[in-house]
Amino acid sequence: MEIARYYFETLPLCPQPQPLESFTSYLTRVAGTNGMRRYSQLNPFIEGYRRITNFADYPPRSLGMLPAITLCGETELLRTTFYHVGKKFERIHDSRWLARFLSEVVASSLRYCPLCLQEAVYYSLPGDSSL
């Protein structure tokens, strides 16, 4: 994490999350906007994820330096995850438990509407669900 402090305090370009945008989508946009090929290049800045491969949009244990480097508040970042669902059902402290709890509701693969993506170039958090 010291790497970020040494080279920069924030990313050069800091897009903000769109309404109902998923966490994975937001990280993908942040990485792409800043010339990174994969959102996994943000690994060093997020605590609790040694290797980001598939977030499934569950909240990380800690957002680490992500709020600081993206100039986006923790509250806004948590809105991109299933944090509030976990909070409502008192299952926010462990993403594995939240994942099990939501296993019948959240799709196991990315789902999206091609027409919606033409209007807004991001994935919607509710669009990730199988409802």
Number of domains making up the chain = 1
Q: How far apart are CA 7 and CA 127, in angstroms?
A: 36
Q: pLDDT by residue (tens digit) across 104-124?
A: 777 766 667 777 777 777 877
43 within 8 A of 60, measured Cβ to Cβ: no
Q: pLDDT by residue (tens digit) across 26-42?
A: 998 999 999 998 888 88
CB atoms near residue 105 (< 10 Å): 12
34 within 8 A of 10, measured Cβ to Cβ: no
Identify the CA nearest to 95 among candidates 131, 130, 63, 128: 63
Which range marks the domain in which residue 110 is found? 2-128
- From the number of C-beta atoms within 10 Å of its C-beta (0-12, 13-18, 19+), residue 90 rates as exposed
39-43, 66-70, 74-78: least confidently modelled range: 39-43
